[in-house]
Structures are given as C-alpha cells and as structure tokens.
Amino acid sequence: DTAVSQTPKYLVTQMGNDKSIKCEQNLGHDTMYWYKQDSKKFLKIMFSYNNKELIINETVPNRFSPKSPDKAHLNLHINSLELGDSAVYFCASSQDSGNTIYFGEGSWLTVV
Amino acid sequence: KQEVTQIPAALSVPEGENLVLNCSFTDSAIYNLQWFRQDPGKGLTSLLLIQSSQREQTSGRLNASLDKSSGRSTLYIAASQPGDSATYLCAVFYSSASKIIFGSGTRLSIRP
C-alpha cells in the first residue's frame, strides 16, 4: 500500500485554468504538507496542516489554496494558473511537525 | 536569514569508494535535521533523522553526523554502489517557527 499518494502524476493545462491535485496518506499522521520543487530542483514548503488547521503558509500566492476534508487528505487547488506555476508539487506527511517526513511521488504540473 | 547549503552540487565517484556529503545551515537553533534521497522522477525518501541533542545516526552503510555549533551535518556513505546514485537533500526543522528548510541537494553518481 502506498503511504502517501497523490493524483494526478502528470498534468498539462493552459494558462488561466483552475486545477486541483489530490493527496491522501494512510499512515495515520497528524501533519500533512505541500511542497513545490522548481526547475532547479529547489524544494520549498508551501503549506502544512496539522489536525485540519493551517500552521504554515510560506507566502504563496492566494491563487493556491489547501483543502483538508479530514486529516488523511490535503488537496491543493490552484486558480488562474500561470506559466511560473509549472513545477513538481509534492505532498508529504509526518506524525507531527518535527518527525520524519514521508513524501508522495510528486505531481508534474506544466502550464502552457 | 535561515539558509541551508549543500556543496558540492554534483559528485561522481567510482564504485566502492567511501564518500561524504556536506550540509551547512546558518541558524544553529535547529530542532532536527533529516537527510533524504530523491531518485529521478520520484519523491523523497527519508534516510536518517538526527535530533538536535544527537551527534550522529547510523543506518546500514549510511552515517549522518550533526555539529550544531558549527552549523554542519555530513552524510557518510561507505562502500558506495551504483544503486546509491541519486540526489541527496538535507532538511533542517526549526521548531520555533514550525519551519522546514531544504538544501538544494547534491547529485551523486557512482560509476561502475
């Protein structure tokens, strides 16, 4: 069983569209994250959720919004996509915010 | 400003050699430090986690050390194998800000 799963793995879409990436973890962890890895492979945290409460928002544009229906899911919604949003987006989870982080396989987003 | 740096950005060594990857951080008030491995097109896999009170952690052929006073961590890989080829990232967790900062990674290539 995949511990952290995210869908879709690949997404190609046009500028201005709205898209979502889903994430689910079956580890029973309390904290989930979204990371963005840019073309230079630099990984930067976007959001983290702990027990359905947002505890980090790293100054990402408000076009990006995390949605957590329950502690096993943290979906990423992106409105009005821009070319610069093209990147790999990783979902992750940990037991709490100071423990080992488990990553999903990534979602490759290309905005054309 | 809290920064995490990994040097070199890329490293190529022949199979069988022992090697050391470096990670440095500017703010020594860390909670823990984690080393990850990322294979091409994949997510990150946690290798070792060192708590701020620890000096080192070992897992198989891997040994990670932590020197908070100098702001450094090293990942030692013994008897390298072609399967060790990947990008290795370190990440520093600062509990005061619930912030995780990743280095840009070292791309390791082991030549058969």
pLDDT tens digit sequence for A6-30: 999 999 999 999 999 999 999 999 9
| Closest chain A C-alpha to B51 CA, distance in angstroms | 9
Q: Does B42 touch chain A (CB under 8 A)?
A: yes
| Closest chain A C-alpha to B60 CA, distance in angstroms | 18
Q: Does B105 touch chain A (CB under 8 A)?
A: yes
Q: What is the structure's pLDDT at A4?
A: 95
Tell how far CA B54 is from the center of its chain. Answer: 15
Of B31, B41, B104, the CB nearest to A98: B31
Q: What is the structure's pLDDT at A39?
A: 80
Query: What is the average pLDDT across B43-70?
Result: 95
A window 53-92, beta carbon within 8 A of B: 55-56, 90, 92
Is the per-residue pLDDT at B96 higher than 80? Answer: no
Q: Which helix (H) or strand (E) holds B6?
A: strand B4-7
Q: In what order do the strands lie in the sheet with B19-25?
A: B4-7, B19-25, B72-77, B62-67, B56-59
Closest by Cα among B72, B35, B29, B70 to B52: B29
Write out the two tokens for B97.
Answer: 């800000």
Closest by Cα among B102, B65, B60 to B84: B60
Q: Which residues of chain A are under the pLDDT cut of 70?
A: 1-2, 52, 58
Is the per-residue pLDDT at B109 higher than 90? Answer: yes
- Round the average pLDDT of chain B to a whole number and report it: 93
Whether residues B32 and A97 touch (CB distance < 8 A) is answered with no
State the pLDDT confidence band at B22, using cuts at 50, 70 and 90.
Answer: very high
Buried b (16+ CB within 10 A) or exposed e, B77-86: beebeeebbb
Whether residues A97 and B93 touch (CB distance < 8 A) is answered with yes
Q: Which residues in chain A are contacts of B93 at CB distance < 8 A?
A: 97-98
